Structure 1
Amino acid sequence: EFDGPLAVVCGAWHVPALQAAHTQKSDQALLKGMARRKTMMTFAPWTGPRLALGYGYGAGVVAPGWCKHLWQTRAQGDSSILWLARIASVLRAKGHMISTASLIEAERLARALAAIRERPKPGFEELRDASIAGLFNGEALLWKMVEAELLLGADVGEIPPDTPLAPLIDDLQRNQKTARLKPEALERELSIDLRSESGLFRSTLLHRLNVLGVNWGKLTDTGRSRGTFRERWMLAWQPEYAVQLVENLVYGPTIEKAANGRLVQMIAAAATLDTLAALVQGAITAALSEASAAGLVALEEKAAHSSECLELLASVPPLADIIRYGEARKTETERLAGLLERLIVEGSIALPYA
């Protein structure tokens, strides 16, 4: 307990609730009768891409790599030269020939641009423009190739070793135990028979992890040649998968809920019919009922307003796959079959005008 003033760091969304006046008596009345629940706190290590996110729980730092560079070279007067050297290093690692003369000219150009723009010294924009002109031969597309590596980086933060496990990691370990799948760094092959409960559980777990961007298992096509009831996976666990899993906490506390949440968000953002069809296929394959329902609704709405032949026909293969392999996953395919027939008819009608 503490009687003094409190400082709360929060997002703007929560400020009105904090500014509103509440008495202790009203708070006690509100909480009276509510059941107590055990909670657990954990930390999610920050990563460069996560710092750059401007939505959700991202920090909105546009270029973490540049900010890190400024911090590391704050006591040096040649931060611009070091940044250009870093750009050259990345380009050389990708097989591009970068001469010392080009670096010198890029540095001079950056200083000239800063003077023209009335800035005391070159900033990120000046160094970027000078690099495109002096190191990329004016090809802005080449800058896009190295932009993520330079501006975002691959840094991963650290959390104390005694920190409780994140809910998603805890849930993963429970699922791994149930599926009898041990995470191993060495690549190994796993053949799954979808007709067994254990096989279906393993497949569903691996598909859900793929939805979350945790590619512990990679599905190969060779298994399907032996029938619709088999899948063949290549498994290899990487340490960074734990970090990627923690980053998905914003979507839900369990693997199923997080995969549902992430896929629903992806479905809402899908711009084309074929993308939607692929997402629906992923949702049904991973047994994500919420995402499947949202995807089918979005797919039907999108199909009703689409007249693009290629887009209509491109959405057919994923849906056909669902129906073809639906028996193995006990999938209800009646609604899909009707939608598939409609897409084929509409695509065929639009074909002469494509």
Structure 2
Amino acid sequence: AVLKGLKKVKTTATWIPWSYERLSFESGYGAGVVSPAWYELLFEKRPEAATRWMVKVARMLRKEDVGTSSAHIIEAIRLAEALAAMRGLPLPGIDELREAAISTICEGDEEKMLLVERELLRGASVGKVPQHLKLPTVALLQDIEKEVKSCRLSKYWESPGESWLGATAANPTGGIDLRSESGKRKSVLLHRLSLLDIHWGRRVELSRHHSAGGFLEHWKLHWQPDFIIQIIEAATWGNTLEEACIHYLNRKVFEQESLPQLTALLQQVLDADLPSVLPPLLRKLDNISALSTDVFELMEALPPLVSVARYGNTRGTDVSAVEAVIRHLVPRIFIGLPAA
């Protein structure tokens, strides 16, 4: 009855890849399991599941600089099997394995286990939608793929391994020149993806020469299979990359009350070339700085603003509004310093 009389709207449906993150109970999926990674191991290597799980625990803890030995693993397996026998279980379950690992490998320190527990229990496996199905993709993914192609970065997209953007035999670290239109577009694309927590590219500062005021940016690109899922999740913010970033940032500006974090956000806005977000962000900065009585917070917020005012026009951005905020901020810092 509620829907009666409403106009019909065309919709499309698609498939998204499964992931252990989504299959886990902690993700909010009511029918999820506690540990997808454990059940995969149990299904494929049932007789050796406990041993393999303990070895995995030890390897992961070693990566976190927690010393483990073969003796730790052997004792942990024995303890897990003993716990299972006491509880009338044919094999140790995830609870027995966890308790045994904490008691032996972690030497009773549960905090050590917490270092690896998320990855250990959930796992990082991600499925793939068969290409031959030719299913429609979400609009945001289509727009990102279009931008990637337009920026001539297709060879890096869905490419395994880590690569320096623009690397050559003569220049192994590559780099993009922000003075060129193509370089600027590549930089904007990577910064916008990073804003949405899709970290395909990681900016690397090679030296002080390539600092905020330089025209050269160096990026390492590393494709991850779960980027597709992250893009689908980010599609709630908009159908294009620019639109999604604007809506996401406007929400961040609305929620953020910390002056230093707002100034950090300002640099991200400029890097991502999203001028429409600047007015509300600068108004929020001005309002919070006017009400703040914490001189140390004001001082912490100043350097990023000065950096923006000094180097913001690397991309041709008008920074006069930022300079106005600085002019309001500096006198208040001077006034507050004697009492600090």
Identify the TM-score tier after normalising by the shorter chain. 0.7 to 0.9
**CA, structure 1 residues 223+323, in 2 after alignment: closer, same or farther (shift >3 Å)?**
farther
Cα offsets for 1:207-241 (capped at 9, x unmatched): 21221233444434469848947232335352534
| Structure 1 counterpart of 2:297 | 311
**C-alpha contact 2:38 2:94 (8 A) present in aligned 1:** no
| Structure 1 counterpart of 2:28 | 59
**CA, structure 1 residues 175+329, in 2 after alignment: closer, same or farther (shift >3 Å)?**
same
Mapped to 1, the partners of 2:197 and 2:93 lie a distance apart of 34
Deviation at 1:336, TM superposition (A): 2.0
**C-alpha contact 1:65 1:153 (8 A) present in aligned 2:** no
Q: List runs of 5+ in structure 2 lacking aligned partners.
A: 168-173
**C-alpha contact 2:25 2:32 (8 A) present in aligned 1:** no
Identify which of 190, 198, 205 aligns with 2:175: 190
Larger CA deviation: 279-288 vs 233-242: 233-242
Deviation at 1:126, TM superposition (A): 6.1
Deviation at 1:348, TM superposition (A): 4.1
| Structure 1 counterpart of 2:38 | 69
| Structure 2 counterpart of 1:155 | 125
**CA, structure 1 residues 238+89, in 2 after alignment: closer, same or farther (shift >3 Å)?**
same
**C-alpha contact 1:191 1:232 (8 A) present in aligned 2:** yes
| Structure 2 counterpart of 1:144 | 114
Could you say what secondary structure the match of 1:233 adopts?
Answer: strand
Cα offsets for 1:74-117 (capped at 9, x unmatched): 7958866664443234224555443455446556766898999x
Could you say what secondary structure the match of 2:120 adopts?
Answer: helix
Identify which of 274, 282, 288 aligns with 1:288: 274
1:174 aligns with 2:146: yes
Could you say what secondary structure the match of 2:116 adopts?
Answer: helix
Could you say what secondary structure the match of 2:321 adopts?
Answer: helix
Could you say what secondary structure the match of 2:219 adopts?
Answer: strand
| Structure 1 counterpart of 2:170 | none
| Structure 2 counterpart of 1:234 | 219
**CA, structure 1 residues 191+68, in 2 after alignment: closer, same or farther (shift >3 Å)?**
closer
1:342 aligns with 2:311: no
**C-alpha contact 1:217 1:236 (8 A) present in aligned 2:** yes
Q: Which runs of structure 2 are paired with 1:67-106 in the superposition (5 Å)? A: 67-70=36-39, 72-73=41-42, 83-92=53-62, 94=64, 96-103=66-73, 106=76
Mapped to 1, the partners of 2:177 and 2:207 lie a distance apart of 9
Deviation at 1:297, TM superposition (A): 4.2
| Structure 2 counterpart of 1:30 | 6
Mapped to 2, the partners of 1:350 and 1:113 lie a distance apart of 63
What's the C-alpha RMSD, in Å, of the aligned pairs? 4.1
1:278 aligns with 2:264: yes
TM-score by length of 2: 0.73
Mapped to 2, the partners of 1:125 and 1:304 lie a distance apart of 53
Mapped to 1, the partners of 2:22 and 2:335 lie a distance apart of 45
1:203 aligns with 2:187: yes
Mapped to 2, the partners of 1:297 and 1:114 lie a distance apart of 61
Q: Which runs of structure 2 are paired with 1:314-325 in the superposition (5 Å)? A: 314-325=300-311
**CA, structure 1 residues 148+205, in 2 after alignment: closer, same or farther (shift >3 Å)?**
same
Q: Which amino acid aligns with 1:259?
A: C
Mapped to 2, the partners of 1:212 and 1:151 lie a distance apart of 26
Mapped to 1, the partners of 2:273 and 2:142 lie a distance apart of 20
**C-alpha contact 1:176 1:182 (8 A) present in aligned 2:** yes
Mapped to 2, the partners of 1:164 and 1:174 lie a distance apart of 15
Q: List runs of 5+ in structure 1 lacking aligned partners.
A: 1-20
Deviation at 1:172, TM superposition (A): 1.9
State the percentage of identical aligned residues.
Answer: 30
TM-score by length of 1: 0.70
**CA, structure 1 residues 219+97, in 2 after alignment: closer, same or farther (shift >3 Å)?**
closer
Deviation at 1:171, TM superposition (A): 0.9
Deviation at 1:45, TM superposition (A): 1.9
**CA, structure 1 residues 349+80, in 2 after alignment: closer, same or farther (shift >3 Å)?**
farther
Mapped to 1, the partners of 2:149 and 2:48 lie a distance apart of 54
